[in-house]
């Protein structure tokens, strides 16, 4: 069996909060040996990693790969290549495709497509309710047996509390997590941005932070009663943070994620009715953004997910009212966060990488996210000194919809490996 040696890299051991110059020998998809550099290790193939950070591969448990049904927005091949270019080695795909991923037949079709065309590891998430209509639960037992990673109706909140309770009970009996998009339709209906300063200035219908927090509060009560692993997707409101923090103190089995755009932007970032700033949940107030950063720091929010949501340029060109919600994020997440959180001293490099690797792995019982002998060789090599402007035309994703276009950021991934195999390496034309 062939082997690969990564030589002279600055290897980030997240759990130990140490960075050491080491050589890594990869064989059979695992990290076979780690030695201080220079070592006597040798491999059939060698990557010279002098000057590069060697990180565990990033894990994103919230992406939209759009296939089947929306291939004009994204495909398995393009979405997973975008993930690799962003340094992600594992992603979890939401089920709001067409058809919705709510049956074993659809799940099996998707798994075959992923096996043929996926560049990185993809964990398929099945719907909670049939058609994501919030009326009837899917066949959760069969979907688990067929390989579903979790359940979610992402894109819509389950409005019926009785049905959500039944979903929690079934998922708990199966020891499966529920990932919830939390949105009370009666409060959010018709809104396109956060209800606040910007919605008033631009005359746009708003979505109050309570629309999210009300459903978070309901679900936390149900999670406590049923014992399910309840995960709150893309937390945006300080009211939600307060609910999650109190629930964790009571011992509720709850985890939560936050996106890079909710950490780095707020409603004041929106200068006009530019649909590149339209996402759901919306960019909220300055106070909300500060609460999210503090919650990620103190562990109330556990890790970072991109909510990568590609759309066509034509769709996003329809204006703030008519365009769909969502922005892309896989290819820019790490450079943005490194530049604006680590370089500005808000988080350490260890803290940031931990929230993109070890924490999502640990909370969802995934055997990835760390560098040690015997571990799966999912690795990302990063040039922390590399600085360049974010140019959507360079994206591998079909989606070019980002509010960060033109931002100059540092810390770009240059090589991504999954199970010891190079799945993407920056080329001359990409530099």
Active site residues: 307
> Which residues, at least 6 apart from 418, have a Cβ–Cβ distance to it below 8 Å?
57, 84, 89, 119, 120, 121, 378
CA dihedral 268, 270, 273, 279 (to 10 degrees): -110
Closest CA to 230 of 291, 182, 293, 294: 182
Q: CA 103, CA 424: separation in Å to the nearest integer?
A: 32
Task: Tell me the DSSP string of 374-398.
Answer: TSB--EEEEEEEEEEE--GGG-SSS
- Within 57-192, strands assigned E span 58-63, 88-93, 121-126, 150-152, 178-180
Q: CA 92, CA 279: separation in Å to the nearest integer?
A: 19
Closest CA to 48 of 93, 100, 10: 10
> Which residues, at least 6 apart from 289, have a Cβ–Cβ distance to it below 8 Å?
262, 263, 265, 266, 283
- Within 211-361, strands assigned E span 230-232, 254-258, 303-304
Q: CA 131, CA 301: separation in Å to the nearest integer?
A: 29
SS3 at position 164: helix
């Amino acid at each position: 069996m062939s082997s690969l040696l990564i030589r002279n890299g600055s290897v980030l051991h997240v759990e130990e909060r140490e960075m050491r110059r080491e050589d890594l020998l990869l064989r059979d998809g695992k990290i076979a040996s780690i030695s201080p550099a220079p070592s006597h290790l040798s491999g059939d193939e060698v990557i010279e990693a002098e000057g590069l950070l060697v990180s565990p591969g990033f894990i994103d448990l919230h992406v939209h790969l759009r296939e089947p049904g929306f291939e004009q927005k994204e495909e398995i091949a393009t979405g997973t290549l975008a993930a690799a270019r962003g340094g992600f080695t594992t992603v979890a795909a939401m089920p709001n495709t067409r058809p919705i991923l709510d049956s074993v037949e659809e799940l099996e079709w998707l798994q075959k497509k992923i096996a043929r065309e996926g560049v990185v590891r993809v964990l398929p998430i099945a719907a909670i309710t049939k058609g994501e209509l919030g009326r009837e639960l899917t066949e959760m037992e069969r979907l688990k047996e067929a390989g579903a990673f979790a359940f979610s109706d992402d894109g819509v909140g389950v409005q019926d509390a009785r049905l959500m309770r039944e979903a929690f009970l079934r998922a708990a009996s199966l020891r499966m997590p529920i990932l919830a998009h939390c949105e009370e339709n009666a409060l959010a209906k018709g809104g396109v941005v956060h209800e606040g300063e910007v919605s008033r200035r631009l005359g746009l219908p708003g979505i109050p932070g309570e629309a999210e927090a009300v459903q978070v509060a309901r679900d936390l009560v149900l999670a406590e009663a049923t014992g399910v692993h309840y995960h709150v997707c893309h937390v945006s409101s300080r009211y939600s943070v307060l609910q999650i923090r109190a629930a964790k103190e009571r011992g509720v089995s709850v985890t939560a994620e936050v996106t890079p755009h909710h950490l780095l932007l707020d409603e004041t970032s929106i200068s006009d009715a530019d649909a590149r700033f339209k996402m759901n949940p919306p960019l909220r107030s300055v106070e909300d953004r500060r609460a999210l950063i503090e919650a990620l720091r103190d562990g109330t929010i556990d890790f970072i997910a991109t909510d990568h949501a590609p759309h066509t340029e034509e769709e996003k060109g329809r204006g703030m009212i008519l365009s769909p919600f969502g922005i892309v994020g896989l290819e820019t997440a790490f450079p943005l966060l490194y530049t604006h959180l680590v370089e500005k001293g808000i988080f350490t490099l260890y803290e940031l990488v931990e929230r993109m690797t070890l924490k999502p792995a640990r909370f969802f019982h995934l055997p990835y996210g760390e560098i040690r002998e015997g571990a799966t060789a999912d690795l990302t090599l990063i040039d922390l000194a590399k600085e360049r402007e974010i140019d959507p035309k360079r994206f591998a994703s079909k989606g070019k919809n980002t509010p960060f276009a033109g931002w100059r950021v540092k810390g770009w991934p240059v090589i991504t490996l999954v199970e010891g195999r190079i799945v993407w390496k920056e080329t001359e034309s990409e530099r």
